[in-house]
Amino acid sequence: MSKKSKVHILILGSGGREHALGFKLKQSKRCGKLYFAPGNGGTAALGTNLPDLPFDPVNTKHADAIDYFCRHNNISLVVIGPEDPLCGGLVDRLAAPDRHVFGPVQTGARLEADKVFSKQLMRATSVPTADSKTFTDYEAAVNYVENRETPVVVKAAGLAKGKGVIVCSTNEQALDALKLCMVDLAFGEAGQTVIVEERLGGQEVSILALVDGRNIFVLDPTQDHKPVGEEDTGPNTGGMGAYCPTPLVDDALMTTIEREVLVPIVDAMRRDGTEFKGVLYAGLMLTAGGPKVLEFNTRFGDPECQPLMMRLKGDLIDIMIATCQGTLGEVNLSWIPRCCCCVVMASGGYPGKYETGKPITGIEDAEADPDVKVFHAGTKLTNGGTLVTAGGRVLSICAMGDDLKQAQQKANAACEKIHFDGAFYRTDIGFRVM
Ligand code: AMP
Ligand code: GLY
């Protein structure tokens, strides 16, 4: 593929993350046809949505059909947004000459898929993380928890759609959590093995890095807001908002995180035969004793991706291809020196039960401010062309500002202009540093 030829792209996924990646890829002069499978109501305006494929485009079981689609549409860059297909090995299955597939191979995605493996690797490489013990035997886990005097976190070892982590304040809660995972099998197989770890205190940050197998380019630090309610109250969600950059991580701390967390993991993977390529995302707690890893993800975070794409300078096609090719050192990558605040508008009831099919209005009005961009997540266009809600997290409203306060104000003002039945959002994204 010459540097001049157009790159036809397939983005797999349907969230705000995938819309933001498409928005940024589309800005490249090299962007040819852009497909989203399945996509959402917003991605349809950037490229071609493929909502009605006779197979599931984010399921590794259907890799042959996805490969066939790519061959027949001359796709030379496939971007995989969500974790399930990465952990299932879709990158391995789609490998082909003349095609770049952005994301780690299955043995790399294991860092996210298997928390026991991830803990073992951290221990082996002295990466700072919470003390923990792994259990496959329920009685043994109960016995361990009953004899502990400090609070714990109970984690299902496998993938549980972001729900398999239960932060406990008392031993009773921890015992309930063990029962939920190991006896009731609330997270299926993912919870048959659990990790019980010390509960850490401090500020949480998300550090995402592009990794090309060897080179690491750390992206500006972000902070996600997982609890559903203002001031981090209520149950955890996929993320109710994020901002970038966060002042919680200065250059010195960033260097420490790169040296003590990212480099050892990437090097250890390579030694063990895996060239990790794609995004390595460390969820960190900034404790009094320094940063400690809560989890690794092997993809862009949602909503962290949205403010990152708003601030990223440079050609994302070049950046992604360089990541796949191992030439990350050769690309230009820098940041717009402003702050971005991203506020998620959700359906009433989320993260519990919610209704869908509610008409959405006001997006154009919100985007009248050139600092505002609305990314879609749970939206779709009806046959009649009406934009309606189709999920729990509906929209990610991003606003740029000269500082976090201005960015937050602009994002909140934009949210006020957007309406759908039952809509709600947090007005305090960034409060922990304001
Ligand atoms: P995870 O999916 O592992 O990032 O966990 C989800 C959320 O649970 C994190 O964002 C934290 O808020 C919380 N959490 C996870 N592990 C711990 C821990 N060891 N101590 C305190 N909170 C934790
Ligand atoms: N925002 C957290 C995640 O994507 O896992």
**Residue 375: predicted pLDDT:** 98
Torsion of CA 187, 190, 196, 202, to 10 degrees: -80
Average model confidence (pLDDT) for the chain? 96
Residue nearest to atom 5 of ligand 2 (CA): 301
pLDDT in tens, 168-227: 999 999 999 999 999 999 999 999 999 999 999 999 999 999 999 999 999 999 999 999
**Residue 412: predicted pLDDT:** 98
Query: Domain limits of the chain?
Result: 7-105, 137-192, 201-335, 339-433
**Residue 332: predicted pLDDT:** 86
Q: Looking at this protein, which amino acid is placed at residue 369?
A: D
**Residue 231: predicted pLDDT:** 96
Q: What is the DSSP letter of 328?
A: G
- Is residue 15 within 6 Å of ligand 2 at its C-beta? no
Please say if the pLDDT value at position 132 is more than 90.
yes
The preferred substitution site among 119, 148, 167, 187 for testing ligand 1, maximizing ligand atoms within 8 Å of CB, is: 167
- The answer for residues whose C-beta is within 8 angstroms of residue 337's C-beta and 6 or more apart is none
Please say if the pLDDT value at position 1 is more than 70.
no
Residue nearest to atom 3 of ligand 2 (CA): 301
Task: Calculate how far, in angstroms, residue 82's C-alpha sits from the geometric centre of ligand 2.
Answer: 10
- Separation of alpha carbons 88 and 105, rounded Å: 9
pLDDT in tens, 272-292: 999 999 999 999 999 999 999
- Is residue 221 within 6 Å of ligand 1 at its C-beta? no
Peptide linkage before 221 cis (omega within 30 of 0): no
Please say if the pLDDT value at position 2 is more than 70.
no
pLDDT in tens, 17-42: 999 999 999 999 999 999 999 999 99
Burial 222-247 (b: 16+ CB within 10 A, else e): bbbbbbbeeebeeebbbbbbbbbbbe
**What is the pTM (predicted TM-score) of this model?**
0.97
CATH number given to 339-433 = 3.90.600.10
Please say if the pLDDT value at position 92 is more than 70.
yes
Please say if the pLDDT value at position 426 is more than 90.
yes
226 within 8 A of 237, measured Cβ to Cβ: yes
User: 């500002």: which residue's tokens?
Assistant: 401
The preferred substitution site among 86, 165, 224, 246 for testing ligand 2, maximizing ligand atoms within 8 Å of CB, is: 224
- Is residue 204 within 6 Å of ligand 1 at its C-beta? yes
- Is residue 83 within 6 Å of ligand 2 at its C-beta? no
- Is residue 224 within 6 Å of ligand 2 at its C-beta? yes
Lowest mean pLDDT segment, chosen from 163-167, 303-307, 327-331: 163-167
CATH number given to 137-192 = 3.30.1490.20
Please say if the pLDDT value at position 140 is more than 90.
yes
Q: Counting atoms of ligand 2 from 1, which one is nearest the CA of 304?
A: 1
- Separation of alpha carbons 16 and 394, rounded Å: 8
For residue 146, CA distances in Å to 171, 253, 286, 428 come to 6, 37, 28, 37
What's the pLDDT band for 392 if we cut at 50, 70, 90?
Answer: very high
Ligand that comes closest to the CA of residue 279: 2
Peptide linkage before 307 cis (omega within 30 of 0): no
Residues in the chain: 434
- Is residue 333 within 6 Å of ligand 1 at its C-beta? no
Please say if the pLDDT value at position 83 is more than 90.
yes
Has domain 201-335 been given CATH number 1.20.140.160?
no
CATH fold for domain 7-105: Rossmann fold (3.40.50)
pLDDT in tens, 409-423: 999 999 999 999 999
85 within 8 A of 59, measured Cβ to Cβ: yes
Residue nearest to atom 4 of ligand 2 (CA): 301
- Is residue 112 within 6 Å of ligand 1 at its C-beta? no
Please say if the pLDDT value at position 4 is more than 80.
no
Q: What percent of the chain has pLDDT over 70?
A: 99
- Do 201-335 and 339-433 have matching folds? no
Ligand that comes closest to the CA of residue 165: 1
- Is residue 301 within 6 Å of ligand 2 at its C-beta? yes
- The answer for residues whose C-beta is within 8 angstroms of residue 23's C-beta and 6 or more apart is 46, 309, 373, 375
